[in-house]
Amino acid sequence: MRFIFSKGRRMEFFPARSRPQSGRAEFLCKNYGEAIVPLSRYLDQHADDDTVRSELGLSFFQIGRYEEVVRVLDPIKSAIAANPELARAYTTSMAKLDRK
């Protein structure tokens, strides 16, 4: 079992095996590095979950792993323009990698 804390307060309680939920909780608490493994595992099994894909891409962006941002967000390129945060992460990552 695991508690997720934000600013000293317990926000949620998740069993350790509840991977998508724990990854999303880590993402919401801005623990981006901790969110990557559970979100990646979930996305490997549920490739059509665009919400988890977006959260994983943004997590990679927040820790400066730009190659992974592009790899994760490429399948939803058509939806990126509708989300300013995703658009910023994707275009900045492309620029950092010197791609057009």
- Helix, strand, or coil (residue 52): helix
Which structural domain, as residue segments, surrounds residue 70? 2-96
Q: What CATH number does the domain containing 8 carry? A: 1.25.40.10
- Overall domain count for the chain: 1
pLDDT tens profile 54-80: 999 999 999 999 999 999 999 999 999
Taking alpha carbons only, the member of 53, 62, 3 closest to residue 30 is 62
Token digits of residue 5: 């804390």
The neighbour count for residue 97, using CB atoms within 10 Å, is 12
Q: Which helix (H) or strand (E) holds 21?
A: helix 19-28
Taking alpha carbons only, the member of 85, 53, 84 closest to residue 71 is 53
When mean pLDDT is compared over 17-21, 56-60, 96-100, the highest value belongs to 56-60
| Stronger pLDDT, 91 or 13, i.e. the higher one | 91
Q: Is the pLDDT of residue 94 over 90?
A: yes
